[in-house]
Chains A and B, each alone.
Chain A
Amino acid sequence: MNLSRRSPLLISVITLVPVCLANAAEAVDARNYPGPAWSPYIVGACIGVLSWLTFYFSDKPIGASSFYATVAGFIGKLFAKRHVESLAYFKENPPRVGWEFVFVLMAIVGGGIAALTGGEFVNEWIPPMWEARFGDGIALRASVAFGGGILMAFGARMAGGCTSGHGISGTMQLNVASWIAVICFFIGGMAVAFPLFKL
C-alpha cells in the first residue's frame, strides 16, 4: 500500500533527475513553434457537439485513458491470465474490445487524416521544442515519455479519468470529481513543467 503511493513519486524522481542533469542551454518558449491549424474555438465547439452525439447515439461520454488499461489487461492476460483476472480493477473493468477501444484506435487515424490534409505530417522522433531544450538524444526523450506515461496513467486511473474523460466530458456535466481532477491536472503539470523547461 505504502509502496503503491510512493512508487509513482519514485518514478518521477528517477526520470526527473537525469533530465535536470542533462539540462541544457536556455529556457524555451512554446510560442516559437507551430500553432494550431484551426481556431481553438471552432475545434472546441465541434468537440462539444461531438459530445452531444456520443451521449445521444452511443450513451457514452468521450474518454481515452481506459483504452490503455484495456491494452494492459489484454497483454497481462497473455502472460498471467488468472492473476490479471484476480485484480480488483480488471474484475470491475474486464478488458474488452468495446466502444472506447475502437474510439481511441480510430482517433489515431483521424489525427493522421487531419495532419495529411493540412500538410502537418511531421514524421519526427523528437519534438523540436524538446530538442531545443534537451538535445536530440532519443534515449532521454523515450525514457522521460515512458516514465511520464506511467505516472499519467496511474494518476488517471486513480482520479477516474484523463483530460478527455474528466477534462471535457466530466466538467461539461458539472461533475464535482472532474472539476477537482482537472484543476489538479494543471497544478501538477505546471509544478513539473516550469522547472523542466524554464529553469
Chain B
Amino acid sequence: MIDPGKAVKQSTEKPEPPVAGASKLITGAIFGLAFGFLLQKGGVGKFNILIGQLLLQDFTVAKIMLTAIVVGMVGIFILHHFAKVNLHIKPTRIGSNVIGGLFFGAGFALIGYCPGTAAAAIGQGSWDALFGMAGLVAGSWIFAEFSGALKKTVQKWGDMGKVLVPDLMHAPRGIFVAIVAVLLTAGLFVMERIFPR
C-alpha cells in the first residue's frame, strides 16, 4: 500500500472561534449520540463491567476495544490510502505516556468509569459518575496548572514525535495493518474461548 503522504485533506488549523460552526456542532452531536448509545449497549457504562475487566473477570471491555481497533484500523488505513481522511497522530512521549497512563489506570480503578463511559453511565442513571466527572474536571484543571512545568520536564523524556508502529519497525503499512488485523482477530477468538464473558 502506498502512503499518500502526511496531510491529505485541508487541515482545519486556523484560529478557531469560541463556538464552532453549526455543521461541526451538529455532526459532533450526532456522532456523540451514537457513541453514547453504543457504549451503553455494550455495557461499558456499567461499573461492574469496567472493574470486572481490571479484575480479569469480565472481558467485555477488551472485546469491544479490540473489535473496534480491527474494524476501525482496516477502514481508516484504506480511506487514508485513497486520500479520503487524515490520520490524527498524537506525539509519542514515552515518559508522559507511561506515567500518565499509570495515573490514568489507578484513577480508573477508583472511579470505575472512563471519561467517555462516564457520560453513558450518567445517561443510564448511574449518578455516582457525576462525582467522577467533577473529579475529572478538577484533575484537568490541576494538570493545566502544572502544564508549563511538565512541558519542560516529563514531556521531554523519550520524545519521539508523531510515529506509527509500522514506521518504527520499517514495515510497509498495508502489510502491517493486514498482519495486525489477522493477529487481533485470532486473539479475539482465543479470548472468546477462554473468557466467554
| Interface residues of A, count at CB 8 A | 145
Pairwise interchain contact A55-B97, C-beta atoms closer than 8 A: no
Q: Beta-carbon contacts of B141-155 to A below 8 Å, as 1s and 0s? A: 111111111110110
Pairwise interchain contact B101-A182, C-beta atoms closer than 8 A: yes
Pairwise interchain contact A60-B88, C-beta atoms closer than 8 A: yes
Which of B16, B90, B123, B128 makes the CB contact (< 8 A) with A125? B128
Q: A186 contacts which chain B residues (CB < 8 A)?
A: 53-54, 105
Which of A40, A64, A99, A190 makes the CB contact (< 8 A) with B27? A99
Q: Which of B63, B84, B108 has the most CB of A within 10 A?
A: B108
Q: Is the interface of B mostly helix, strand, loop or mixed?
A: helix
Residue of B nearest to A173 (CB): B87
State the CA gap A166–B93 with chains docked (Å). Answer: 13
Shortest CB distance B139–A (Å): 3
Q: Beta-carbon contacts of A53-82 to B below 8 Å, as 1s and 0s? A: 111111111101101110111011000000
Pairwise interchain contact A145-B28, C-beta atoms closer than 8 A: no
Shortest CB distance B94–A (Å): 7
Given A51-B72, A180-B97; A162-B104 close (CB under 8 Å):
yes
Q: B37 contacts which chain A residues (CB < 8 A)?
A: 110-111, 113-114
Pairwise interchain contact A72-B141, C-beta atoms closer than 8 A: yes
Q: A185 contacts which chain B residues (CB < 8 A)?
A: 101, 104-105, 108
A49 contacts partner chain B, Cβ-Cβ < 8 Å? yes
Q: B57 contacts which chain A residues (CB < 8 A)?
A: 29-31
State the CA gap A97–B64 with chains docked (Å). Answer: 29
Which of A73, A118, A180 makes the CB contact (< 8 A) with B101? A180
Which of A55, A56, A72, A148 makes the CB contact (< 8 A) with B110? A148
Pairwise interchain contact A162-B46, C-beta atoms closer than 8 A: no
Given A97-B20, A145-B112, A188-B106; A103-B28 close (CB under 8 Å):
yes
Q: Which of B30, B147, B164, B168 has the most CB of A within 10 A?
A: B147
Q: Is the interface of A mostly helix, strand, loop or mixed?
A: helix
Pairwise interchain contact A45-B68, C-beta atoms closer than 8 A: yes
Pairwise interchain contact A158-B154, C-beta atoms closer than 8 A: yes
Q: A24 contacts which chain B residues (CB < 8 A)?
A: none
B2 contacts partner chain A, Cβ-Cβ < 8 Å? no
Closest 6 CB pairs of A and B: A149-B135, A188-B105, A111-B123, A184-B101, A44-B67, A30-B52
- 7 more CB-based (< 8 A) A-B contacts, given A34-B43, A150-B107: A40-B60, A45-B68, A53-B31, A111-B36, A142-B128, A149-B136, A151-B104
- Can you offer 27 A-B residue contacts whose CB atoms are under 8 A? A4-B149, A7-B142, A35-B197, A36-B42, A36-B49, A43-B38, A47-B67, A60-B28, A65-B116, A102-B28, A102-B32, A106-B33, A107-B119, A110-B38, A121-B125, A124-B127, A145-B132, A159-B101, A159-B103, A172-B72, A173-B73, A176-B163, A177-B92, A180-B98, A181-B104, A193-B54, A197-B51
